[in-house]
Amino acid sequence: MIRKLVIAALVLGAIGGLAFWFLTAPQTPSAQEIASAGEGDVARGERMFWAGGCASCHAADGAKGDDKLKLTGGHVLKSPFGDFIAPNISMHERDGIGGWSFTEFANAMLRGVSPDGAHYYPSFPYSSYMRMKPADVADLWAYMRTLPAVDGKAEPHRLSFPFTVRRGLGLWKLLFLNPGPVVALADATPEMQLGQYLVEGPGHCGECHTPRDMIGGPKYGLWLSGAVSPEGEGVIPNITSGEGGIGDWSAKDISYYLESGFTPEFDSVGGSMVAVQENMARLSPEDRAAIAAYIKAIPAHPDGYPAKR
pTM over 0.85: yes
Contacts of 3 (CB under 8 A, 6+ apart): none
How many whole angstroms separate alpha carbon 149 and alpha carbon 90? 5
Mean pLDDT by 10 residues, the chain (309 residues): 56 53 75 92 96 93 90 90 92 96 97 95 94 97 97 90 82 90 92 97 95 90 90 83 91 95 87 89 96 95 74
pLDDT given at position 8: 52
Q: Which residues pair with 268 in a beta bridge?
A: 262
Q: Report the alpha-carbon distance of residue 202 to residue 52 in Å, rounded.
A: 5
Nearest to 93 by CA among 156, 40, 150, 144: 150
Distance of alpha carbon 59 from alpha carbon 290, whole angstroms: 27
CA distances from 88 to 121, 150, 155, 158, 207 (A): 15, 8, 10, 16, 21
Residue 7 confidence (pLDDT): 58
The confidence score (pLDDT) of residue 269 equals 86
